[in-house]
Homo-oligomer: A and B are copies of this chain.
């Protein structure tokens, strides 16, 4: 019995993985508008009934398919806000340059303008993406390196704003000089001396 249960479990896991992979595939190829349960079912070979058993809605499926977005390496902890921030900004720039989600996120931002369920998905992804900035900011505040009234929300706008602008709006390259300047501007915004120079 245990063995046949394992077989069933393994099959369920394989089906779920196939559904999630095809969802992300469709999302990458055509944005959120390209993702339909019909098409996911056709491509994955998993029936619609089975898909709906695991995910009550298209939005729920999208949430899980996007769960890898923004799951970054460990948060740096160098003891200096400047060095932590530089490491995070470089990592974010690298992801924006090459990670597949960088081409997918605008579709979710767009959907969030109109569909509350997808606004919820967007809020989660955004929170996950920016969480490491919150961690280094709070550590710097705990060390007294950063004023208490300048929180993670500030860091987001000052740091991610210019990077996102280049990646999705002006569509200019996120070169090393630009990334370095973003860090410098952020440190000057927060009144922190850049010890890495």
Contacts and interface: CB of A to CB of B under 8 A. Distances in A.
Interface of A: 29-31, 33, 103, 106-107, 109-114, 119, 122-123, 126, 130, 153, 156-158, 160-166, 168-172, 178, 182, 185, 188-189
B165 A160 contact: yes
Which applies to chain A's interface (DSSP): helix, strand, loop or mixed? helix
Nearest to A154: B181
Contacts of A172: 153
Nearest to A104: B113
10 contacts: A31-B111, A106-B106, A107-B110, A119-B171, A122-B171, A157-B182, A161-B161, A162-B162, A165-B165, A185-B189
B112 A109 contact: no
Contact of A157 (B33, B110, B119, B166): B166
B185 A158 contact: yes
Contact of A164 (B122, B164, B178, B182): B164
Given A109-B106, A110-B110, A185-B185, A162 B170 contact: no
A114 B31 CA distance: 9
Nearest to A163: B161
B109 A110 contact: yes
Given A126-B171, A188-B189, 18 more contacts: A29-B114, A31-B33, A31-B110, A31-B111, A31-B114, A103-B113, A106-B112, A109-B109, A109-B168, A119-B171, A126-B169, A153-B172, A156-B170, A157-B161, A157-B170, A158-B162, A160-B165, A161-B162
Given A162-B158, A164-B161, A185-B189, A169 B109 contact: yes
